[in-house]
Amino acid sequence: MQRLGQRVMADLRRFLYARLLAQPPAFFERRHSGELLSRFTADVPLVEFSVAQALSSYIKDGLQILALLVTCALIDAKLFLFTFVVMPATVVPVARFARSLKKVALRSQTSLGALTSLTAEQLQNLPVVQAYGGVPRALSRFDEEAGRYFGEMRRSLFLRGAFSPTVEMLGIAGVALVVMWGARAVSAEPALAGRLLSFVAASLLLYQPVKSLSGTFSQVLTGLVAAERLFALADEPAPPDEGREAEPLKQALVLEGLRATYLDGREGLRGVDLTVPAGARVALVGASGAGKTTLFSILLGFLPSSGGEVRWDGVPLRELKPSSVRAQMAWVSQEPMLFSGTVRHNLLLGRPGASDAELWEALTLAHARDFVSTLPAGLDEPVGERGSRLSGGQRQRPDTQACPGCGTQGHDLDARFCKRCGTALDWKGP
Ligand SMILES: Nc1ncnc2c1ncn2[C@@H]1O[C@H](COP(=O)(O)OP(=O)(O)OP(=O)(O)O)[C@@H](O)[C@H]1O
Ligand SMILES: [Mg+2]
């Protein structure tokens, strides 16, 4: 059962991660990555416990309880009916406990998410926090959030602690009723004594499985809340990667009255007309906030257009498979984005399978050959988290290699198309 639980959880983790990887940037604008991470680190293990541990105990204890109830009914049906009419009475307090516990579990899990988000953000921006004397403020915000989490956990532990004794009390009340009723019945009909004894013995045997079931019940409820949070993530619609395959551009990329509206209603583009013939080198120049990045977000399928049309050799962009359009583009993000592997690892993202000679050629084009060759391990030098072991300018250079064959430079341009393959670059020079 535990192996099965582990397998289910591994599949769930993978499914959720695949879901996240398919989400457009707008999805992450509404959420904090720390909060999403807490679902993987905290919620998945809670569900894991419910599935792996509690489920097996539920089956074992549930079967025992069922068998003992049948035994009691067979011993004396009347006594059984009388005694176990108290059972429905237990449903009310149990349901109330369950509701409160679920509420507290949801609040504590949300609070843990907020705590993770806060910590991740402060640590990521630690140089700024330290430079501006923000450490005491960071610590007091942490204390505030941690205090909230601690309070929720205390409430949750109190409820869990109170749950088992309540169920046990109800059980004892049931047995006491049997004894009372039985004693009266036996005084009227002494032959019943033997059956009463067997009945009480069978009812007492119920104690252990009921106790163990109620012990894991609260954990199962917490697991259920965690599962709800995970399923909410799984239910997020991800844009499907479907449509016709985009071929390399042969004629032109045409934008007709292209509009873009962000989730908050702000307009990124208000009717752009532009024709880019295949192979042409076109620079998009405009004031900050003019909409250059927005335009590339639409071309890359990160943002849906809210009006107008983009035609790729005459075919509307929305009819093309987004991943096949992306495969025709080389995009250099305005903000340098490096992964915490080596220089090679980062370069290969642009063209998996490129040879060392091609990588050095790409580095030459990006004016990065000199500094990479001075690194102790050259191409195999780790760049640190988000390129933290490189200088600000150096960080941008391996990044520009998303289009290694392009060769176009021009540090004064913000956005342009690659002449060689008609691909789009949205590039901020160092
Ligand atoms: N995620 C977003 N949510 C809401 N509005 C946005 C978002 N991103 C951009 N905008 C708004 O859309 C407009 C166009 O932004 P965009 O990023 O395309 O400008 P840009 O031309 O690339 O500017 P820059 O040269 O500064 O990079 C701006 O008014 C901006 O505030
Ligand atoms: Mg921009």
pLDDT (tens digit per residue) in 262-277? 988 999 999 999 999 9
Helix (H) or strand (E) holding 174: helix 135-188
**Ligand 1 within 6 A of 290 CB?**
yes
pLDDT over threshold 90, residue 320: yes
User: How many residues are present in the chain?
Assistant: 430
DSSP state for residue 162 in the 8-state scheme: H
Q: Which ligand is nearest to the CA of 331?
A: 2
**Ligand 1 within 6 A of 64 CB?**
no
Alpha helices by DSSP H, listed for 331-382, are: 343-348, 356-365, 369-374
Distance between Cα 326 and ligand 2 center (Å): 18
Q: Which atom of ligand 1 is nearest to the CA of 266?
A: 5
pLDDT over threshold 60, residue 115: yes
Mutate to test the pocket of ligand 1, among 30, 266, 331 (most ligand atoms within 8 A of CB): 266
Give the SS3 label for residue 169: helix
Distance between Cα 265 and ligand 1 center (Å): 12
Nearest Cα neighbor of 193 from 206, 184, 202 is: 184
Beta-carbon count within 10 A of 272 CB: 20
CB-CB contact of 327 with 245 (8 Å): no
Mutate to test the pocket of ligand 1, among 23, 259, 293 (most ligand atoms within 8 A of CB): 293
CA distance 185 to 181: 6
Question: Residue 146 corresponds to which amino acid?
Answer: A
Q: Do strands 307-312 and 424-426 pair parallel, antiparallel, or not at all (unpaired)?
A: unpaired
CA distance 110 to 31: 12
pLDDT digits (tens, 9 = 90+) for 37-82: 888 888 888 888 887 777 778 888 889 989 988 998 888 887 788 7
**Across 286-297, average pLDDT:** 91
Distance between Cα 429 and ligand 2 center (Å): 12
Distance between Cα 18 and ligand 1 center (Å): 28
The residue assigned the tokens 């198309």 is 417
CA distance 422 to 328: 8
CA distance 95 to 97: 5
DSSP state for residue 245 in the 8-state scheme: P
Tokens of 88: 């429905």
Tokens of 187: 């005084």
Mean pLDDT of the chain, nearest integer: 83
Helix (H) or strand (E) holding 121: helix 86-124
All domains of the chain, ordered by start, with CATH?
2-234 (1.20.1560.10)
Residue ID of nearest Cα to ligand 1 atom 7 = 262
pLDDT score at 7: 82
**Ligand 1 within 6 A of 122 CB?**
no
The residue assigned the tokens 């690194």 is 375
Between 91-95, 121-125, 176-180, the lowest mean confidence (pLDDT) is in: 91-95
**Ligand 1 within 6 A of 297 CB?**
no
